[in-house]
Amino acid sequence: MDWTLVLIQTLNGLQLGLLLFLLASGLTLVFGIMDFVNLAHGALYMIGAYFCASLTFWTESFILGLLLALPLTAIVGFLVELIVARRLYPRSHLDHVLATFGLILVFDTLVQILWGPEGVAIPLPDWLNGQVTLGEVVLPSYRLMIIGGGLGVAGLLYLLVNHTRLGMLIRAGASNRTMVGALGVNIQLLFAAVFALGAALAGLAGMLISPITGASIGMGNEIIIVAFVVIIVGGIGSMKGAFIAALLVGLIDTMGRSYLDDLFKLGMPLESAETSAPAVSAMLIYILMAVILAFRPQGLFPPKVR
């Protein structure tokens, strides 16, 4: 067993998990509070990446680009809420899904118009592009930064939700929307703020991944489904559930892809292991979802709703 490899893969899994958490947290917030299913959340992920790319080139600093792109993405989120989402709150979830599906098309094409059909690569500054050596293990420092950043944001979100007024409103709204309105809180503003926050989180995820994968059209469309799997597994509306499920999914997916064929080889003839492992590892997180749902159809940590 190459433990170095295991460590690296674990960190990769954590990285994926934290990125998924950034995406899933916005998704679950918006669903928990506004009961709104936003398929276009992945488009915000993409837009964040593109904004960051352009701003990085413009300011010649990745950090500055990222910091400037965050509020920009939040503004886009706010506009989406104002123009589209707001009209859909009273409608059925199917309407949400269809309308946001249309939004994906709109955003994908807009991005194509503004940035062209080819993706945009984002160069990392040298100080982030290096490596960190821990004993025998050599790790790319950027990946560590993503993990650190992701954990930091998760911590901030925890503080926000549990120790601020806004967080209290969020938790209250998640379990009883009408009450919060009746308490005289400016619901429209709250909703807009939550949506913008979700957008910023999604955008951040996109920004963090973009130096590795580049920004490309439709980059959010696959990962958004995984984010939905995360919130279903975690329990729709629950931040804690999103965090745990995201790490679970990230780790299982990464480890599965790396080690499933080895695992299979322990019990199966070589050839069947080699042909079936890629297929099963591709399906692994969905199988996980199915198993969890079979026992807990509401997910692992569903928030108590009155």
Partner 1 sequence: MAETTETAAAAAPVPGGSILDPRGWGVRGWTTLAVLLFLAIAPPAAFLLDEPFYLDLAIRLVCLTIAAVSLNLILGYGGMISFGHAAYIGIGAYAVGIPAFHDYLSGWLHFPLAVGVSALFALVTGAICLRTRGVHFIMITLAFAQMAYFLFVSMEAYGGDDGLLIYYRSEFSGVLDIDSNLNLYILCYVVLLAAMYLVHRIVNSRFGMVLRGSKGNDARMRAIGYNTYAYRLAAYVISAAICGLAGALLGNFTNFISPEMMAWSRSGELIFMVILGGAGTVLGPVIGALAFLALEELLSGWTIYWQLIFGLLLILVVLYMKGGIVSILGRRQPEDG
> Which amino acid, residue 255?
M
Q: How far is the CB of 282 from partner 1 (least distance, A)?
A: 4
Which tokens hold the place of 305?
């709703």
178 binds partner 1 (CB under 8 A): no
Distance CA 16, CA 26 (A): 16
Indicate the residue among 150 and 256 with the shorter CB distance to partner 1. Answer: 256
Say how many C-beta atoms besides its own lie within 10 A of residue 5's C-beta: 12
Which letter does DSSP use for residue 215 in this model?
Answer: B
Is residue 242 at the binding interface for partner 1, with CB under 8 A as the rule?
no
Nearer to partner 1, 56 or 238 (CB): 238
Q: 75 vs 98, which CB is nearer to partner 1?
A: 98
Nearest to 250 by CA among 28, 7, 9: 9
Give the chain's end-to-end CA distance (angstroms, integer): 50
Q: Is 272 in the site for partner 1 (CB under 8 A)?
A: no
Interaction between residue 114 and partner 1 (CB under 8 A):
no
Nearest of 28, 25, 26 to residue 174 by alpha carbon: 28
CB of 145 to partner 1, least distance (A): 29
Indicate whether 163 belongs to the interface with partner 1 (CB under 8 A): no
**Measured from the CB atom, is 208 or 217 closer to partner 1?**
217
Q: Does 30 bind partner 1 (CB under 8 A)?
A: no
Stretch that binds partner 1, among 1-9, 57-65, 193-201, 288-296 (CB under 8 A): 288-296
Q: Which stretch binds partner 1 (CB under 8 A): 7-15, 65-73, 265-273, 282-290?
A: 282-290
127 binds partner 1 (CB under 8 A): no
Q: Are 241 and 3 in contact (CB under 8 A)?
A: no
Using CB under 8 A as the binding rule, whether residue 213 contacts partner 1 is answered as no
Q: What burial class does residue 58 get, using C-beta atoms within 10 Å of its C-beta: 0-12 exposed, 13-18 middle, 19+ buried?
A: exposed
Binding mask 90-109 for partner 1 (x = CB under 8 A): xxxxxx-xxx-xxxxxxxxx
**x-or-dash pattern for partner 1, window 215-234, by CB under 8 A?**
------x---x--xx--x--
Specify the residue, 3 or 295, whose C-beta has the smaller distance to partner 1.
Answer: 295
User: Distance between CA atoms of 277 and 279, rounded to whole angstroms?
Assistant: 5
Q: How many whole angstroms separate alpha carbon 152 and alpha carbon 29? A: 18
Residue pair 300/235 in contact by the 8 Å Cβ criterion: yes
Per-residue contact track with partner 1, 36 to 65, x per CB under 8 A?
A: -x----------------------------
Contact 21, 242 (CB under 8 A): yes
Select from 61-69, 139-147, 156-164, 285-293 the region that touches partner 1 (CB under 8 A).
Answer: 285-293
Q: Which residue is associated with the tokens 């998704």?
A: 27
Count Cβ neighbours within 10 Å for each residue of 210-229 and write b for 16 or more, e otherwise.
Answer: bbeeebbbebbbebbebbbb
Q: Can you tell me whether residue 120 is helix, strand or coil?
A: strand
Q: Contact positions toward partner 1, by CB under 8 A? A: 31, 37, 84, 87-88, 90-95, 97-99, 101-110, 112-113, 221, 225, 228-229, 232, 236, 275, 278-279, 281-283, 286-287, 289-290, 293-294, 297-298
